[in-house]
Amino acid sequence: MMRYIIIITAIVLPFVIYYLLVRLTKKVDKKFPLITLSLISLVLLICSLIYFRFTSTQPKGLNYTPPKYENNKVVPSKIK
C-alpha cells in the first residue's frame, strides 16, 4: 500500500506545490506550465520506480501460484 502512495505522490506533488506557490504568492499567471510540471512528475515517478526495483525484500527465484478453484473449493495462493 505504501508503494502506491509514494507513486501517486510522485505524480501529483509538482502540481500541488505549484498550486500552493501561486496561492501563497498571490501571483496570477494566465499561463499554466503543464508540460514542465508533467516532466517533473515523470522524473519523480521514474525515480520512485527505480527505488522500488532495487530495494525489493523478496528473495529471488520464488514462484507465485495464484488462487484457483478446484472441487468446489478455493485453493489459496502459494509462494514457493
Its domain, for residue 44, covers: 2-79
**Contact indicator for 44, 13 with CB cutoff of 8 Å:** yes
What's the one-letter identity of residue 47?
C
Alpha helix ranges (H) inside 1-80:
2-25, 34-54
One digit per residue, the tens of pLDDT, for the chain of length 80 reads: 788 888 899 989 998 988 888 888 887 766 778 888 899 999 999 999 898 888 877 777 888 899 999 999 999 998 88
Residue 80 CA to residue 78 CA, distance in Å, equals: 6
pLDDT at 29 (0 to 100): 67
CA angle centred on 5, ends 65 and 12, rounded to 5° = 135
Full-model pTM: 0.57
**Number of domains within the chain:** 1
Residue 11 CA to residue 15 CA, distance in Å, equals: 8
